Amino acid sequence: MTAVQPFRLPSGGRIDRDRPIRFSCNGRSLVGYAGDTLASALLANGVRVVGRSFKYHRPRGILSAGIEETNAIFRVDTGKLSVPLVRATLQPLEEGLVATTENAVPNVDFDFGRILDFTHGLWPAGFYNKTFKWPSWHWYEGLIRHSAGSGRLPTGPDPTEYFQHNLHCDVLVVGAGPAGLAAALAAGRSGARVVLIEQEPVLGGALLWDGGEIGGTPAETWRAAAAAELANTANVRILTSTSVAGCYDHNVLMAVDRSDATGADRPVERLWKMRAKQVVLATGSIEQPLVFGHNDRPGIMLAGSVRRYVTQFAVAAGRAVVVATNNDDAYRTAFVLQDAGIAMPAIVDSRRRASDRVAEEALRRGLNVMGNSVVVDTTGGRGVTKVAVGELSGDGQSVSGRARWLDCDALAMSGGPSPTVHLYSQAGGKLRFREDLVAFVPDGCRQHVRVAGAANGTVDLAGVLAEGTDAGAAAARDCGFAAIAAALGRNSEPAGLVGSVRWAPGGTTSRQWVDFRHDVTVADIELAVRENYVSVEHLKRYTTVGMSIDQGKTSNLNALSVLASLTDRTIPKVGTTTFRPVFSPVSMGTITAGTTDHLYSPARLLAAHDWHAANGAEFESYGAWRRPACYRKAGEARQAAINREVLAVRHAVGLFEATPLGKIEVKGPDAADFLNRIYVNNMATLQPGGIRYGLMLSENGIVIDDGVAARLASDHYLVSTSSGNADRITGWLEEWHQCEWPHLKLVLSSVTAQWAVLTVAGPRARELLAGLESDIDFSSHAFPHMTIRTGRLAGVPVRVQRVSFSGEASFEVSLPACSARAMWEAWMRAGAANGIEAIGIEAILVLRLEKGFLHVGSDTDGTTNAFDVGFGAIIAKKSGDFVGRRSLMRPNDARQDRRQLVGLEPLQAADSLVAGAHLIHEAGAARRSEGFVTSAARSPTLEKSIGLGLLERGFGRRGETVTVFDNGRSFKARVVDPVFYDPKGERLNG
């Protein structure tokens, strides 16, 4: 069933002709061989049109054989995975693979989008900045969004497994071509820990398809021996099918490893986060296209890639191939094609003459060389059928005479190699321009990074190997290993010169492509220059050249060359745009590596979590903590549950888990002094056994936390913070101690997670605790409000603080977290006769609101200072500096018309306050907001709507009526004392 592959050569190639592979492309069933890429198999089958260009929807063919591919971009379905925007040149052929072109309607062979090409004069660069304005952009938005883009996201869950790995090494070698192999050998032999990374599945780089000789033996022999030696060296680690995507500060590199993507049932992708003492970049070079009329037709390819298709894949790009070049390397393509029996109408060389050896070889082979000539145009609907060749004038600035048309079905073009300096530049390496290469080469890096081989602008094989060896040896020596650089013998043959012409002068510039991927032509660059976008960074963004998925690998150099020419500057004066990661695509999944859903952030659970879960708790996230908002009995609505819990605390006893409350031990002779500098209150006068409610401010005078501090001994305090602030305030205290007052003798220790806190609150709370075995006297006169006792309760060591957030008699019992669950259950049983209820957060917030207790972050914002919440009197009695005090002395901080904390009650019983509603000043035309409601609830205790708010001049406006504005509705409310319930505190102190 072997189908005919019309462009497969009868022999040769690194493919396995005994293993045919069936696949389909745009609905056509085709056959290739094991060892093919999707691109080589398509070429072998004579598939010419593989895609449509982004803007004009022109038919396009395969351009290259590597990562620089701009045209052969498919959605690839392998049965395991469906991935859009896959470069066919990097996709290994797999049985059953389905490839689809996605940006063509209805299909790649006939695309309605081509109308944009026929009207291309209307769509120059940046046309969208000048059009689609009237009547409104949104009229056009739908159509534009629908037609933009090059692929569709796959639906359904992603079957890929993602992992992240860390790697440390002495010498990291990026690229396993000749330079990289030589570097890895030299470093590996020294005993250094070496990691060698290669993006292909096989080591060798250009040695795999360019043959040649090394030290008199075939290059393939050397390559195989090097690969074997490295595989057998214990201190060398090899990663293949792995692409280094980014190079960061301090020699940290990131690589994406797809070596497990094929084969297994589930595709696997790995991210390597690598830290290397020394880096050797052997990243090679990328051949640049030539710029001439209609240089984008199917069949026009990079010359080195044409050669690679013959030698690595046994595929002919065509039956009659014209070679166009400005350098010697493309001649090797001509020789290889001729040896494969392919017709060669001409070699079009923009230079007068190639270097001697190459010119002589061409002559010997009887090839037709047209010197001092350039291709100026091409024709052919579905693929190139003729090319026009013109002769350059004396100064190389124009084409003289009439063009000669040559028949062909493929054009192999070469503008010379551009070193792949992306990673090097990301590492901070500088570049310089080499006139003889007409390209940028590395020129010194401040990090421990070396470049070797083609990436360094070295083009002859012997030079490449020598450089690689030197770099690897030097890197190993810098790590402290003795390395010898073996002399491989430099070839004295000069590098084949690269002519400076890449852009054929004259012709219709709107049909001369610079960026195939984003359909940017020379005319677009001319337009940018006319509109004064002459900085290379502006050129990039205005024309979008180099901004597509290929990131300008085959367009940036030509674009800035054209720009240089148009603005009368040299290429180095124009410069390059900034190189940023990533060099090759990285899946979002690889970056997240499975930290999604419940693994997105750590969940903190309460000590008695299992009991809460088993008893109707409705959990919500409060910061990282999962806490019960309320406990719903069977059939009970949420609000009813909250109301029931509030009333239970008011009339019986409630049990609440308050474990997330921050607890910080402060111990040392200077503990009191330290806390006095942090708190607004005077903490030094607190007696041992006492508790004081305190406020902490930022240096700007803004309230950042409130909480209680208990004094256990003269040198020992227990600071408690609000639940959401535990970690932050611990850090805050440490920062002040370590950075500002290190001379103060004290130690800070956060014990938030060590002590669980169970709060018992209500008129029957004391009864419950007194009924337990304890050495603590819970009676009212022995244990007054705002004091702390330590001892044992039901056999467990406890610290009991009599503090109240609810306004009832309340005991916060801190006990070792491991004992909490059992204690909770015991108290629920013991309190059953007294009507005990489990209490959730929402009920607690209502209880504290009824008492007018502050909730920092709800009732305060980033502008609320200590005066605004009524701490003026306390501050007046405090002597000495504390954090934020100087700020409170500023005139603006002491103004009487600031927003101050007040209580609010609607005048009508039917109206309800809502947090966020504004308090409106109505007088005259100046209708504006004077403040807003900060907390609100319908109180089940008082059976009315109550709220707190921040209101300008609030302290002096008690009894006044204000207008509440909530989402279009207005109603009246009265300003009242924020303490709605038990204003004398009798229940609190009972």
Partner 1 sequence: MLRIPCPYCGVRDEDEFRWGGQSHITRPGLDATETVWADYLFNRDNPKGIQYERWLHAFGCGRWFNLARHTVTHEILAAYRMGDPKPPLGRGAE
When the beta carbons of 731 and 916 are compared against partner 1, the nearer one is 731
Decide: residue 363, CB within 10 A, 0-12 exposed, 13-18 middle, 19+ buried.
exposed
Say which residue the tokens 């190997």 belong to.
465
Which of 95, 356, 734, 977: binder of partner 1 (CB under 8 A)?
Answer: 734
When the beta carbons of 275 and 953 are compared against partner 1, the nearer one is 275
699 binds partner 1, rule: CB under 8 A? yes
When the beta carbons of 40 and 251 are compared against partner 1, the nearer one is 251
876 binds partner 1, rule: CB under 8 A? no
740 binds partner 1, rule: CB under 8 A? yes
Stretch that binds partner 1, among 30-38, 142-150, 492-500, 882-890 (CB under 8 A): 882-890
Which of 886, 928, 969, 972: binder of partner 1 (CB under 8 A)?
Answer: 886
248 binds partner 1, rule: CB under 8 A? yes
890 binds partner 1, rule: CB under 8 A? yes
Q: How far is the CB of 798 from partner 1 (least distance, A)?
A: 28
Q: How many CA atoms within 13 Å lie on the side-chain side of 855?
A: 25
Which of 142, 146, 157, 249: binder of partner 1 (CB under 8 A)?
Answer: 249
Rounded distance, CA 682 to CA 409, Å?
91
Q: 88-106 burial string, b = 16+ CB within 10 Å, else e?
A: bbbbbbbeebbbbbbbbee
Q: How many CA atoms within 13 Å lie on the side-chain side of 274?
A: 32
Q: How many CA atoms within 13 Å lie on the side-chain side of 419?
A: 27
773 binds partner 1, rule: CB under 8 A? no
Say which residue the tokens 């309460």 belong to.
606
3-class DSSP assignment, residue 217: strand
Stretch that binds partner 1, among 320-328, 546-554, 732-740, 916-924 (CB under 8 A): 732-740
Give the residue among 331, 324, 323, 321 at the shortest CA–CA distance from 290.
324
Rounded distance, CA 642 to CA 646, Å?
6
Q: How many CA atoms within 13 Å lie on the side-chain side of 384?
A: 34
735 binds partner 1, rule: CB under 8 A? yes
When the beta carbons of 891 and 959 are compared against partner 1, the nearer one is 891
Q: How far is the CB of 426 from partner 1 (least distance, A)?
A: 12
Token digits of residue 498: 């690269």
| Strand duo 51-52 + 110-111: pairing | unpaired
877 binds partner 1, rule: CB under 8 A? no
When the beta carbons of 587 and 887 are compared against partner 1, the nearer one is 887
252 binds partner 1, rule: CB under 8 A? yes
379 binds partner 1, rule: CB under 8 A? no
885 binds partner 1, rule: CB under 8 A? yes
Which of 368, 508, 738, 908: binder of partner 1 (CB under 8 A)?
Answer: 738
781 binds partner 1, rule: CB under 8 A? no
Token digits of residue 712: 């256990």
CA of residue 607 relative to chain centroid, distance? 35
Q: What values do phi and psi take at 245, rounded to 5?
A: -95, -25
Q: How far is the CB of 880 from partner 1 (least distance, A)?
A: 9
Stretch that binds partner 1, among 39-47, 136-144, 526-534, 731-739 (CB under 8 A): 731-739
573 binds partner 1, rule: CB under 8 A? no
Which of 742, 924, 959, 968: binder of partner 1 (CB under 8 A)?
Answer: 742
428 binds partner 1, rule: CB under 8 A? yes
Rounded distance, CA 116 to CA 124, Å?
11
130 binds partner 1, rule: CB under 8 A? no
When the beta carbons of 530 and 886 are compared against partner 1, the nearer one is 886
Give the residue among 272, 273, 267 at the shortest CA–CA distance from 161.
267
When the beta carbons of 738 and 863 are compared against partner 1, the nearer one is 738
Q: How far is the CB of 739 from partner 1 (least distance, A)?
A: 5
895 binds partner 1, rule: CB under 8 A? no
DSSP string, 132-172: S-SS-THHHHHHHHHH--S--PPPS----EEEEEEEEEEEE
604 binds partner 1, rule: CB under 8 A? no
Which of 130, 446, 598, 781: binder of partner 1 (CB under 8 A)?
Answer: 446
Stretch that binds partner 1, among 37-45, 242-250, 453-461, 650-658 (CB under 8 A): 242-250
Distant-in-sequence, close-in-space partners of 31: CB < 8 Å, separation ≥ 6: 1, 2, 3, 5, 20, 21, 22, 23, 41, 45
Give the residue among 460, 45, 397 at the shortest CA–CA distance from 212.
460
Where does this chain bind partner 1 (CB under 8 A)?
248-252, 275, 428, 446, 699-700, 731, 734-735, 738-740, 742, 881, 885-887, 889-890
